Chains A and B, each alone.
Chain A
Amino acid sequence: DTGVSQNPRHKITKRGQNVTFRCDPISEHNRLYWYRQTLGQGPEFLTYFQNEAQLEKSRLLSDRFSAERPKGSFSTLEIQRTEQGDSAMYLCASSFDRFSDTQYFGPGTRLTVL
């Protein structure tokens, strides 16, 4: 069990550029979650997957955001045409299955949009 990993840990980009983050969950964990955390706030839910199926998306996930989990293992979160308001910590978490209420978090990717 190597834990949830996220790459990159930090990303600085200019407004209007596209960025992509990767999350590798704990192996054999079927559920994968994405959250966003802004400074001084708690994490806010963005979306989650059961294997490769994306089951729910928050209203926070605008059309510029897309998430995939093509083979039910790692996941990517892409933000197109980044805006300064997208600057935040993007957190990934995984859990064993739909009956597991404990989520294990990765270290996060900190995005700064200039």
Chain B
Amino acid sequence: GDSVTQMEGPVTLSEEAFLTINCTYTATGYPSLFWYVQYPGEGLQLLLKATKADDKGSNKGFEATYRKETTSFHLEKGSVQVSDSAVYFCALSPLIQGAQKLVFGQGTRLTINP
């Protein structure tokens, strides 16, 4: 079945460091890919998405490129801030016969130290 694998956390970085969180997926067809973020005490928020191969999603300085050849959707940010501390989830939507359930990775906890 469809699945998402994220790099294990927790990840701890200093402010202004470069961030990469790896995400790979297994799916039939051509899923849409997402990054969701969960700040402490809050619900899941959509961070960015990409719907087809080579698309780049971007938001708040974060970027991820849909790589079909490597079945990956790695999240990157050039200079992280303390406020980026959160749990990040990679997810896919199979998009078979219309949008259906999201399949999530296990999440990566990110802590940014000042």
Interface residues, chain A, with chain B CB atoms under 8 Å away: 4, 31, 33, 35, 40-45, 48, 56, 58, 91, 93, 95, 98-108
Contact = CB atoms under 8 A, between A and B. Distances in A.
A2 B103 CA distance: 26
Which of B91, B100, B101, B105 counts the most chain A CB atoms within 10 A? B101
A56 B106 contact: no
A107 B101 CA distance: 18
A104 to B, nearest CB: 7
Given A56-B100, A101-B49, 20 more contacts: A33-B101, A42-B107, A43-B102, A45-B103, A48-B100, A93-B102, A98-B97, A98-B98, A99-B99, A100-B99, A101-B32, A101-B51, A101-B99, A102-B46, A104-B46, A105-B43, A105-B44, A105-B45, A107-B43, A108-B43
Contact of B93 (A43, A58, A101, A107): A101
A99 B102 CA distance: 14
A40 B101 contact: no
20 contacts: A42-B105, A42-B106, A43-B89, A43-B102, A43-B104, A45-B102, A45-B103, A56-B100, A91-B44, A95-B99, A98-B97, A98-B98, A99-B98, A101-B49, A101-B99, A102-B46, A103-B46, A103-B102, A105-B45, A107-B43
Contacts of B34: 102
A90 B67 CA distance: 32
Chain A interface mostly helix, strand, loop or mixed?
Answer: loop
Nearest to B33: A101
A42 B101 contact: no
A48 B107 CA distance: 22
Nearest to B51: A101
